[in-house]
A = this chain, B = another copy of it.
Amino acid sequence: MENSNQNKKQLPERISLAHGAGGSVMDEIIQLIANTITEKNVKDGIGLKELDDGGSIPLMDYEIIFSGDAHAVHPIFYPGGNIGKLAICGTVNDVLMMGGRPVAIGDTIVVEEGFEISKLEEIVRTMNEIAKEARVAIITGDFKVVPKGELDEILISTFGIGIAKKGQVILDSGLKPGDKIILTGSIGDHGIAIMAFREGIDFQTELVSDNAPLVDTIQAALKAGRITAMKDPTRGGLASTLNELAKKSEVSIWLMEDQIPIKDAVRVASEMLGIDPFEVTCEGRAVLGVNEEDANRVLAAIRKTKYGKDAAIIGEVKEERPGMVILETKVGGHRVVEMPYGEPIPRVC
C-alpha cells in the first residue's frame, strides 16, 4: 500500500504512448506492475523484479524459462513480415536470451469484428511456419472477437516456454570487465522499414524487417564459448539494451561506432525521419556479452548461421564508470549513449 501511494505521487494521471515505449519513461509503469516472487514454488527462480527477458521456475535439475509479449505492430503486414511472424520471433528470442531452449508457444489472438478471415489465415500460416523453423510447437491458445471499433484489427500475445539446465540461465546482470560485446546483425532494420513503409518512403534497395527466430544463431554461440549476458534490442533499440546491460551488470560498455553494422538505407531513412537508429526496435538481433578469450570463436560460429552473417564485435566491457554506455565515434571522439526516453516509433512491435 505504501509503495502504491509513493508511486501515485510520481505518476501522471493518464497513460501516454511513451509509457509503453521501452525507455526511461516506461520504468515508472514497470515499477507499478512488477511484483516480487513470494511463492515457494518459484522462490529460486527469476521473477518480475529482475526485469530480465523472462522469468524462470526451478524444477528438479532444470529451469523452466517463461517469457511473453503483446504485439500491436501497425500495419499488421509490413515489408519482411507480419504481426504473426513478429509474435513468434519475439517470444522465441526472449526465451533464447535467458539461455533457454524454446520448446512450446501459447498465443492469444484478439480480433475486431469484421476482420478479414483471409488475413487471419495468412497470419496463422506464418506463425506456424516460423514456429516450425524455430522448432517450437504452438500447443495452447485463445481466440476472442471484440465488437467493431473496439480494437484496431488484431492483437496477438505470445508466451513461450523454454528449458535450461540448472545453472545455465543467462541474466542481463552477467557482464564482466574484459568481455567483448557481439551484435548479431545490423541495427534499425525493423523499425525503420515499418516507419518508411508507413511514410511511403521509397528506397532503391528494398529495406525489410529483420524479424527472425534466432534459435540456430544463439545455439551456435552457446556451443562456441562462454556467454555472460544476452539481450535482444527490441523497444528502445541498441541504446536501451546496452544501457540496461551496463546498469544491471554494474559495468560500462565501450562501443566502436565504425564496428556497428548499419545498412545505408537505414542510415539515410533515419536522417530523413529525424530518428536515431540506435534507439529503434530490432526484432531479429541479439547483443551478447562474451568472455574475451572466446569472442572470436563465438563470432565465427554466429556468422555461419542464417541470421548471423553480419555479426560483429562492437565493443567491450570495462569496470570504470559503471552503468555507462560510451561510444567512440568514427572521428575518435567519445559520447555517452543515453538511455532513450522511449522508442521513437509507436506501434512498431
Contacts and interface: CB of A to CB of B under 8 A. Distances in A.
Most buried by B among A64, A120, A140: A140
Interface stretch (A121-129, A257-265, A291-299): A121-129
Interface string A150-187: 11100101010101000000000000000000000000
Contacts of A68: 106-108, 140-142, 157, 159
Contacts of A26: 143
A314 interface: no
Given A16-B145, A29-B143, A70-B108, A7 B132 contact: no
A55 to B, nearest CB: 3
A45 interface: yes
Stoichiometry, copies per complex: 2
Provide the main secondary structure of the chain A interface.
mixed
A139 to B, nearest CB: 3
A296 B114 CA distance: 48
A55 B146 contact: no
A108 B157 contact: yes
A42 B104 contact: yes
Interface stretch (A32-40, A199-207, A247-255, A317-325): A32-40
Interface residues of A, number: 92
Contacts of A13: 116-118
B142 A70 contact: yes
A66 interface: yes
A273 interface: no
A30 B143 contact: yes
A47 B139 contact: yes
Given A14-B114, A57-B103, A132 B38 contact: yes
Given A15-B114, A117-B11, A57 B142 contact: no
Contacts of A128: 35
